[in-house]
Amino acid sequence: MSQPIIEARDLGIRFVRNRRRQLRLREMFIHRGGRQPSSEEFWPLRHLTFDIHEGEAVGVIGKNGTGKSTTLRLIAGVLIPDEGSITVRGRVAPLLELSAGFTTDLTGRENVHLVGSLHGLSASFLKAKFDEIVEFAGEQVQKAIDTPVRHYSSGMKVRLGFSVISQLPHPILLMDEVMAVGDAEFKAKCYATIERLLGEGRTMVLVSHNEGDLTRFCKRGLYLNKGELVLDGTMQEALDAYNNVVRT
């Protein structure tokens, strides 16, 4: 078998949670002029080992705050691990959080060009595809394309983000709760695009709380709990394990 396209080995990352913001008024008086309260380190993810092969669609499930988005950010290279390693053999098209990394003071039009070029799309390609990208994002975005993105709704940002990112030729697609904010029309467009991209042999890692979306696209599932990979099996096995814990 060929080498995995994504290879995580004993992967871990440490974050610092600064306690200062959580101090109560009384505690602030106690600490006044004295030693600053210490920051608290924690591991949102630790000891993660998995391989993902080219063409696989893998769903990631787990309660809120269990490290799903952090896993995607590590794969995207936005975060650097403190332990272990993550090897990614191919370029990544990331659709993380609500947008594709838009600059909110720039207009939709400017962001399409900026984000597209940051991901390696040429100016001539973007010019040729611009109308298609905006049309895919829908009528509301079309009307607001020369308005700063800070005035866009969450749904509008995701629509435009998905529209740009789905144009990338990169072999790996990362998606974090993309369909959750879209309306029915956008979901249908997303489904068709994802099916096309998977049909082309792309690899996808999908974070979602929607069982329908996960089972629709992913044969394989990773179930994370408290920053640990509890189960790496079929999507249904991962969902069953997650639901057993949630219901007890």
Task: State the residues that interact with ligand ATP by CB under 6 A.
Answer: 15, 17, 44, 62, 64-70
- Which of 65/212 has CB closer to ligand ATP? 65
- Which of 63/150 has CB closer to ligand ATP? 63
- Which of 17/196 has CB closer to ligand ATP? 17
- The minimum distance between CB 158 and ligand ATP, in angstroms, equals 15
- The minimum distance between CB 42 and ligand ATP, in angstroms, equals 7
Q: Which two tokens stand for residue 34?
A: 């004295």
* Identity of the residue numbered 30: I
- Which of 13/190 has CB closer to ligand ATP? 13
CA angle centred on 96, ends 91 and 98, rounded to 5°: 145
Among 84, 90, 91, residue whose Cα is nearest residue 9: 84
Instruction: Tell me the three-class secondary structure of 83-108, residue by residue.
Output: EEEEEECCCEEEECCCCCCCCCCCEH
Cβ neighbourhood burial of 224 (10 Å; 0-12, 13-18, 19+) = buried
Q: Which two tokens stand for residue 185?
A: 């029309």
C-alpha–C-alpha distance, residues 165 and 82, integer Å:
28
C-alpha–C-alpha distance, residues 90 and 83, integer Å:
22
Among 230, 189, 204, residue whose Cα is nearest residue 45: 230
* Identity of the residue numbered 208: S
- The minimum distance between CB 41 and ligand ATP, in angstroms, equals 10
- The minimum distance between CB 231 and ligand ATP, in angstroms, equals 15
Using an 8 Å Cβ cutoff, are 46 and 12 in contact? yes
- The minimum distance between CB 242 and ligand ATP, in angstroms, equals 12
- Which of 44/182 has CB closer to ligand ATP? 44
- The minimum distance between CB 80 and ligand ATP, in angstroms, equals 12
- Which of 68/159 has CB closer to ligand ATP? 68
For the chain, report the end-to-end CA distance as a whole number of angstroms: 40
